[in-house]
Amino acid sequence: MVSLTADMSPLRPDRNLAMELVRATEAASIRAVPFIGRGAKEEADGAAVDAMRAFLRTVNFDGRIVIGEGEKDNAPMLFNGEHVGSGQGMQCDVAVDPIDGTTLTAMGRNNALSVIAVADRGTMLDASSVFYMDKLVTGPAGVGVVDIRLPIGENIRLLAKALGKPVEEMVVSVLHRPRHEKLIQEIREAGAGTRLMTDGDVAGGINAARHNARTDMCVGVGGSPEGIVTACAIKALGGHIQGRLWPQTDDEEQRGRDAGLKFDGHVYEADELVASDNTIFVATGVTDGQLVAGVRREGDYIYTESVVLRSASGTLRRVSSEHLVSKWFG
């Protein structure tokens, strides 16, 4: 395999690729506009998938989808194993979620995103055989401090000390699910506050890892694919992420073992989730959120806001764009 560590390697995911990928997430978000708040999540997702696929075809890279929307038989979803891009240039693993938060989009709620993450070929963990993962995400202060194996109360106290703030000022993001009732209670008993998310744990994890974020930690069981996508972003932010696979049945666990995944309490560290240090994470807002503003249409223009995170440079860039409506819905 060609080494991608040299700065001038022709296969290295670079800043030009990052900006090209923004066009694909912008397209997916824009195409979702007619369905925001209309209760039609399948239609929103289908429109976003079609737009993202069309724009990815124009990007000069050799991408293989490791984390996709669905299997090949469920077209038009972008499926695991599908090749995207022109086939020329950089060889990459690709994770896509044309809309992370289809229910949020359908209900017109905050924090829906269109997301793409890429890393060097062969470096993303393929956890598609196990749907759920228990995750712990913090910013840089949590590196070497917190551990998913510890009780949540202890992790909150350790992180609060590292951040130099009182426990009662700590805020922890958790998906609002029945499976998290005990976890939520333990967070509150520890003296911290909670931010309960309806959906969208990719945004929740990134917000917890950002500098001067409103939340300090994101914990709980969410999608395994979302864990891999989040790891690509966390590497750019210098934060902390750990995950443990959470199979629902013995059959699901066996499928995971057959695929080479690890169980029995094994904790996946950041470098196991994504082995590459050359990651790119791109997201465009579909609805408003802490990370980015949602797409909006005003008169003859559509406005989008995106973020681009690159681990190679340790940067988070914001891209604000104006699009002529006539070019999209003419």
For 47-100, the pLDDT digits (tens) are 999 999 999 999 999 999 998 865 544 445 688 888 999 998 889 999 999 999
User: What pLDDT does residue 283 have?
Assistant: 97
Residue 230 assigned to a binding site: no
Residue 226 is labelled as binding a ligand: yes
pLDDT, tens digit, for every residue of 319-328?
Answer: 999 999 999 9
Mean pLDDT confidence for 26-37:
95
Whether 285 has a binding-site annotation, put simply, is no
The answer to whether the annotation marks 62 as part of a ligand binding site is no
The response to whether 100 counts as a known ligand-binding position is yes
Bridge pairing between strands 61-67 and 90-100: parallel
Radius of gyration over every alpha carbon of the chain, rounded to an integer in angstroms: 19
Q: Averaged over 176-182, what is the pLDDT?
A: 97
Comparing 26-40, 72-86, 130-144, the range with the smallest average pLDDT is 72-86
6 — pLDDT class (breaks 50, 70, 90): very low
- CA of residue 246 relative to chain centroid, distance: 18
Beta bridge partners of 241: 137
Range scoring the smallest mean pLDDT among 78-92, 133-147, 156-170, 229-243: 78-92
Q: How far apart are CA 208 and CA 50, in angstroms?
A: 31
- β-sheet bridge partners, residue 97: 115
Residue 194 has pLDDT above 60, yes or no: yes
**Residue percentage of the chain with pLDDT more than 90:** 79
Lowest mean pLDDT of 4-8, 163-167, 201-205, 289-293, name the range: 4-8
* Average confidence score pLDDT of the chain: 91
Question: What 3 state SS string does the chain have?
Answer: CCCCCCCCCCCCCCHHHHHHHHHHHHHHHHHHHHHCCCCCHHHHHHHHHHHHHHHHCCCCEEEEEEECCECHHHCCCCECCCEECCCCCEEEEEEEEEEECHHHHHHCCCCCEEEEEEEECCCECCCCCCCEEEEEEECHHHCCCCCCCCCHHHHHHHHHHHHCCCHHHCEEEEECCHHHHHHHHHHHHCCCEEEEECCCHHHHHHHHHCCCCCCCEEEEEEEHHHHHHHHHHHHHHCCEEEEEECCCCHHHHHHHHHCCCCCCCCCEEHHHHECCCCCEEEEEECCCCCCCCCCEEECCEEEEEEEEEECCCCEEEEEEEEEECHHHHC
pLDDT tens, residue by residue, 215-260: 999 999 999 989 999 999 999 999 999 999 999 999 999 999 999 9
Position 135, amino acid: K
Q: What are phi and psi of 197, to 5 degrees?
A: -100, 135
Look at residue 199 in the predicted model and tell me its pLDDT: 84
119 burial class (0-12, 13-18, 19+ CB within 10 angstroms)?
A: buried
Q: What is the pLDDT of residue 7?
A: 44
pLDDT at 69 (0 to 100): 62
179 is in an annotated binding site: yes
Give residue 79's pLDDT.
Answer: 84
Res 1 pLDDT > 50:
no
Residue 201 annotated as binding site: yes
Q: Which domains does the chain have, with CATH numbers?
A: 14-122+278-327 (3.30.540.10), 132-273 (3.40.190.90)
* Band (15; pLDDT cuts 50, 70, 90): low
Is 178 annotated to bind a ligand? Reply is: yes
Average pLDDT over residues 167-174: 97
pTM: 0.90
- Please give the pLDDT value at position 200: 82
Percent of the chain with pLDDT over 70: 92
Sequence-distant (≥ 6) Cβ neighbours of residue 136 within 8 angstroms: 146, 147, 148, 155, 217, 218, 219, 240, 241, 242, 243
